[in-house]
Amino acid sequence: MLSFEGTPRADPDSVWYMTYAITANNLARAFGDNLAVNGVDLAIKTGEIYGFLGPNGAGKSTTVRMLTTLLNPTSGSATVAGYDIVADTENVRLRIGVALQNAALDLKQTGREILDMQGRLYGLTATQRKMRIDHLLGLVDIGDAIDDMVSTYSGGMKRRLDLAASLVHQPEVLFLDEPTTGLDPVSRAAVWAEVRKLNTEMGMTIFLTTQYLEEADELADRVGIIAKGRIVAEGTPTELKRSIGADVIIAKVSTEDAARAAQALQTVPGLDHIEAKGDSIVIGVTNGGSALSPVAVALSSAGITVNELTMRTPTLDDVFLETTGTRMQEEATQ
């Protein structure tokens, strides 16, 4: 990592600061009467990939803007790379890389010129800039296009160049805001591979916001789900899915019958949890195969018409539904 002169951490020998790349304590941000972020707590370990999920308007982007020093909190506190986001803004900015959803790239420059300019802004010498660009070309798949005008780049190429630009100064913590939105499956897989390489080969801490649940499932060591300004669920993808049950049974009924259906299923033994969401009854169960028939019988006995009855293993979308009341796919299309 590059070395920088500046304000030292509050306690540079503290195990807390050496262990955690991002912390937040009751972090909040209000816009007038709207409390966009309402008491977020975070403890993200150094070298971790943290997936941050939330429905539209949940406070996801506001949280990221505070952590990247683009917005001051109304109350609470946070540190990034061991520095306070308000008191040590400059030191935080020197140690983070940020790749936003909409890449701000000069179309009249070549990829190499953009990376070189980024290095200049961080005070790198000509020798350092050349070394960093050569390294990044091996890390981020840009190839010979690095010397082409950015106006000729595809969407995936622009996204990868923006990612490379955020890495020129070798940040300790990388913030990726929906890095694969709008990309085709091949380009998305390429970005996933690059994110894994950054984490495994460089030990970089990555804070990833995404609307793709499979992306969080594939990449994140831990996932946090935010709704109405508060984190409502957090854990490894496996832990979160297990919280729903080993299997999930979905019963589709009319919206008017949903509450009554959930009540009727309370008498069925062996169900871990029952949740009515719109026209769906989501049932977590240890053994879905043995529970299907009793569930169908209980609903039929209650006079409830079942339009569809399916069983599958839990997904992060089930966790999202359980904690926010909506599905992530529905949010992504709104």
Residue 324 binned pLDDT confidence (cut-offs 50, 70, 90): confident
Q: How far apart are CA 235 and CA 297, in angstroms?
A: 35
pLDDT digits (tens, 9 = 90+) for 25-53: 999 999 999 999 999 999 999 999 999 99
**Model confidence pTM above 0.85:** no
Q: How far apart are CA 314 and CA 246, in angstroms?
A: 7
* Mean pLDDT along residues 278-284: 88
Q: How far apart are CA 52 and CA 176, in angstroms?
A: 10
Is 17 in contact with 9 (CB distance < 8 Å)?
Answer: yes
* Mean pLDDT along residues 130-141: 83
Q: For the chain, what is the largest distance between any 2 Cα atoms, rounded to a whole number of angstroms?
A: 77
Q: How far apart are CA 193 and CA 178, in angstroms?
A: 15
Q: How far apart are CA 280 and CA 167, in angstroms?
A: 44
* Mean pLDDT along residues 112-138: 90
The ranges assigned to domains in the chain are 15-238, 245-313
* Mean pLDDT along residues 153-181: 86
Q: How far apart are CA 136 and CA 106, in angstroms?
A: 19
CATH level 2 (architecture), domain 245-313? 2-Layer Sandwich (3.30)
Q: How far apart are CA 76 and CA 197, in angstroms?
A: 34
Is 185 in contact with 198 (CB distance < 8 Å)?
Answer: no
Torsion angle defined by CA atoms of residues 267, 269, 274 and 280, in that order, rounded to the nearest 10 degrees: -80
75-89, 134-148, 297-311: range with lowest mean pLDDT? 134-148
pLDDT digits (tens, 9 = 90+) for 96-115: 998 877 667 888 999 999 99
Answer whether CATH 3.40.640.10 is correct for domain 15-238. no
Is 236 in contact with 223 (CB distance < 8 Å)?
Answer: yes
